[in-house]
A and B are shown apart, each in its own frame.
Chain A
Amino acid sequence: MSILKVILFIASLLPAAWLTFALFTDQLGANPIEVITRDTGLWALRFLWLTLLITPLQWLTSWNKIVMLRRMLGLYVFFYAFLHMLLYLWLDQFFDIQEIIKDIIKRPFITIGFFTFAALIPLAVTSNKAMIKRLGGKRWKKLHRLTYFIAVASSIHFYMLVKQDKVEPLVYIGILLFLFAIRVYKQRRKSKQVKPDRFLAKAALE
């Protein structure tokens, strides 16, 4: 497991490493700032989708240790989203606070992007063992359901910012719907299994 973790840790850094290398060797084309801003956002999205894939994989394979990879993937979501946000604040707005506030209020896709990032912060902060203990498993779980909100909001953010060709964001939304569908299916089967028990329990009482 620890080797797998190391490999995943390094592999997840590769997109950032490539972008940095390509930027300094002039391989990002005519508008490199546009490319790095877009790509860090896309990688945040991809890592979020991967994070959401872990639990279904666990159900499917019954390989419970796989959950140990989830936290790292989740923190990479935060890492790439942070870079994405930083690039916007710096290279798009040059840290002009007034302009930024105006932009957040006026442009729905920026508004959504801003709140999506804000929602990621408590999740990143409470990702270590000590915080899980302090919050208690149940409350921690409840808090981390924010992930679903973040996934939906970031999809909308992506869909809205694309000028005309919506195929790419629609592919991401399609995959997300699939990831949600697996969860709904699992939940339903669970509740179906519970019902007869309850029925029996009730019958026993009577």
Chain B
Amino acid sequence: MLIKKTTANEITSSEITDHKVYVNRRQFLNSTAMGVTASLLPLSLSAADNTPKPTFLDLQKSTLSTDDKLTSYKDVTSYNNFYEFSTDKYAPALLASNFPDKSKPWRVTIEGECDKPGEYDYDDLIRPFTLEERIYRFRCVEGWSMVIPWVGFPLADLIKRAQPNSRAKFVEFTTLYDPEQMPGQSRKVLDWPYTEGLRIDEAMNPLTLLSVGLYGQELLGQNGAPIRLVVPWKYGFKSIKSIVKIRFVESMPNSAWMKAGPREYGFYSNVNPEVDHPRWSQGRERRIGEFLKRKTQMFNGYGEEVAHLYSAMDLTKHF
């Protein structure tokens, strides 16, 4: 009979730090430290807005930022429409806490009608660009809005490097499809993977941002980590999250929401108080954290920057 005896200086397997804890040791230290600090603070203080210290430092400020009052970090990171995790807006914050899986490298493919296609690791993808802070209004098609300090760089910078050719009239974006990491994808609420699109001039507009963070922090899973689009003059669902593919195409791409409800969601989906969603009004919105509703502004208040893109178009037809 074999009985394994452990000698005094041999390490038992139970003593070895779990690989997951080892990999996340900094986070473990941080959260332990934060937990201890929080328990020492009086309840009122710890319950207050616990915005973590920024990790992106010396971000360039932008003249395109609004000076509207920011929505709290807590609300921005706990109230999210992210159907890849759940259709309940409070659930992604709980379900996406470890997203994306750190052991799987995040790859982004750039392809289609361009001279410099490629497949990049996340770090290589963003390395050439200067990150800046952009404080934008964010208007959801459901009738609520936020003000969010994004961290990112203009999509135009990335497009210039990819060198789209003359056939590139539109840009199509695709979200990761991985039901193991994104449990909401195991139900066909939308036609996965989520896709979105912009006309090339919309994509090149200085307002259009590729975001990698908010509140000076890396994006959390529920906010579309590690990289997402932000198009502040369009309804929130156009700002596609957790992007794995950017493709230049000649004809107008179909988006996940256009497929789900072609009468309700158009390609442009510009914020427009004059054009109602067939089931509800878009005239007003509830700014998260405010009691009274406010009037929704044309192009979410970005008309000066973008109205010229649609000057010849009937926006009730091209909604």
A contact residues vs B (CB 8 Å cutoff): 26, 29-31, 33-34, 91-92, 94, 103, 106-109, 160-161, 163-165
Query: Contacts A94-B293, A165-B189 given: A103-B90 contact, CB under 8 Å?
Result: no
Interface residues in chain B, defined as those with a beta carbon under 8 Å from any beta carbon in chain A: 47, 74-75, 78-79, 83, 87, 89-90, 142, 144, 189-190, 260-261, 276, 279-281, 286, 288-289, 291-293
Tell me the bound Cα distance from A30 to B74 in angstroms.
8
Ordered by A's residue number, 20 sampled pairs between the chains whose C-beta atoms are within 8 Å are A29-B78, A29-B79, A30-B75, A30-B79, A31-B89, A31-B286, A31-B288, A34-B286, A91-B291, A92-B293, A94-B293, A106-B276, A107-B279, A107-B280, A109-B279, A160-B279, A163-B142, A164-B83, A164-B261, A165-B83
With A and B bound together, what is the CA distance between A108 and B278 in angstroms?
10
Docked pose: A188 CA to B258 CA in angstroms: 46
Give the complex CA separation of A29 and B260 in angstroms: 28
Q: What is the count of residue pairs linking A and B with beta-carbon distances less than 8 angstroms?
A: 44
A30 lies within 8 A of B189 (CB): no
- Chain A residues whose C-beta falls within 8 Å of the C-beta of B286 in the assembled complex: 31, 33-34
Please give the distance in Å from A37's CB to the nearest CB on chain B. Answer: 11
Q: How far is the CB of A26 from chain B (nearest CB, A)?
A: 8
- Contact check: which of B83, B190, B288, B292 meets A94 at CB < 8 Å? B292
Decide if A164 touches B279 in the complex (CB within 8 Å): no
Query: Cβ of B292: which chain A residues have Cβ within 8 Å of it?
Result: 94
Q: Which residues of B contact A160 (CB under 8 A)?
A: 279
Known: A163-B142, A165-B87. 5 other contacts (CB 8 A): A29-B75, A31-B144, A94-B292, A106-B276, A165-B189
Distance (whole angstroms) from the CB of A31 to the closest CB of chain B? 6
Name the residue on A nearest B261 (C-beta).
A164
* Chain A positions within 8 Å of B89 at CB level: 31
Q: A31-B144, A107-B280, A109-B279 are in contact. Are A164 and B75 (CB under 8 A)?
A: no
Q: How far is the CB of B235 from chain A (nearest CB, A)?
A: 12
Q: Which residues of A contact B260 (CB under 8 A)?
A: 164
- From B144, B189, B190, A34 is in contact (CB under 8 Å) with B144
Contacts of B47 in A (CB 8 A): 26
A108 neighbours in B (Cβ, 8 Å): 279
How far apart sit A103 and B280, CA to CA, in the bound complex (Å)? 8
A26 to B75, CA, bound (A): 12
* Contact partners of B280 in chain A: CB under 8 A: 107
> Which chain A residue lies CB-closest to B77?
A30
- Bound form: Cα–Cα A29–B79 in Å: 8
Chain B residues in 8 Å Cβ range of A107 = 279-281
List, in ascending order, chain B residues with CB within 8 A of A31's CB.
79, 89, 144, 286, 288
* Least Cβ–Cβ distance between B256 and chain A, in angstroms: 10
B279 touches A30 (CB 8 A): no
* Residues of chain A within 8 A of B289, CB atoms compared: 30
Given contact pairs A163-B142, A164-B190, A30 touches B288 in the complex (Cβ within 8 A): yes
Give Cα distance in the complex from A3 to B286, angstroms.
44
Most A-side CB within 10 Å, residue of B89, B190, B261: B89
Verify B288–A164 contact, CB threshold 8 A.
no
Quote the shortest CB–CB distance from B3 to chain A (angstroms).
55
What separation, in Å, do the CA atoms of A192 and B79 have in the docked complex?
A: 56
Distance (whole angstroms) from the CB of A133 to the closest CB of chain B: 44
Interchain CB contact under 8 A, B90 and A29: yes
Task: Say how far A59's CB is from chain B's closest CB, in angstroms.
Answer: 37
B277 to chain A, nearest CB (A): 9
**Nearest chain-B residue to A110 (Cβ)?**
B280
